[in-house]
């Protein structure tokens, strides 16, 4: 007696891995064909060939970046400074960034402006910019004091 196996979800993970591998192979072969075309254009001096060369180079770089970098988080980036006059810490929101990690270099990462569309973990990162001589609050206070005492003699002159 032969048994007919019904298709089930036992191989769903394997099918997904195969599809991912096939897409990666197709992308690598597309890059390779663009690189071959780029090499054939390198000897030509015409304006059309130079334009096509520049377009192909930009496409290759974009495609290779997609292979090398992967987005891991949506990061709210803040720059912080400490005022030397009042010793307060000020935070400046620089915007939402897409944090990316390099696939082969564990220490490499970069931020791209804009919040990613994918559903990723959100986090906050502060970059310390060091200290500044005077913050905006202290500058405003000094300007107000100078404006209020303008034209009045100094207490040392009395």
Mean pLDDT of 90-107: 90
pTM to 2 decimal places:
0.54
Task: Kindly calculate the radius of gyration of the chain based on its CA atoms and give it in whole angstroms.
Answer: 29
Tell me whether residue 75 is exposed, middle or buried, using C-beta atoms within 10 angstroms of its C-beta: 0 to 12, 13 to 18, 19 or more.
buried
The secondary structure of residue 84, as a DSSP letter, is T
CA 30 distance to own-chain centroid: 25
Instruction: Give which of 95, 93, 94, 101 is closest to 73, Cα–Cα.
Output: 101
The pLDDT tens digits for 131-147 are: 999 998 899 999 999 89
> So where are the chain's domains?
18-147
User: What's the pLDDT at 102?
Assistant: 86
CA 117 distance to own-chain centroid: 13
The pLDDT tens digits for 8-52 are: 566 777 777 787 778 777 877 877 887 787 788 777 788 888 888
Instruction: Give which of 126, 21, 113, 122 is closest to 72, Cα–Cα.
Output: 122
Residue 147 C-beta-side C-alpha neighbours within 13 Å = 6
Nearest-angstrom CA–CA distance, 43 and 50: 10
């Amino acid at each position: 007696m032969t048994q007919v196996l019904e298709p089930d979800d036992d191989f769903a993970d394997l099918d997904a891995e195969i599809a991912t591998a096939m897409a990666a192979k197709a992308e690598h072969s597309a890059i390779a064909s663009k690189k071959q075309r780029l090499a054939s254009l390198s000897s030509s001096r015409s304006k059309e060939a130079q334009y096509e060369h520049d377009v192909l180079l930009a496409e290759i770089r974009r495609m290779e970046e997609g292979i090398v970098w992967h987005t891991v988080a949506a990061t709210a980036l803040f720059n912080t400074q400490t005022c030397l006059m009042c010793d307060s810490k000020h935070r400046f929101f620089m915007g939402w960034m897409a944090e990316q990690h390099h696939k082969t270099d564990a220490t490499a990462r970069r931020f791209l402006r804009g919040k990613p569309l994918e559903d990723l973990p959100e986090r906050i990162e502060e970059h310390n910019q060091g200290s500044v001589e005077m913050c905006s609050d202290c500058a405003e206070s000094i300007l107000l004091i100078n404006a209020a005492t303008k034209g009045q003699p100094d207490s040392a002159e009395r």
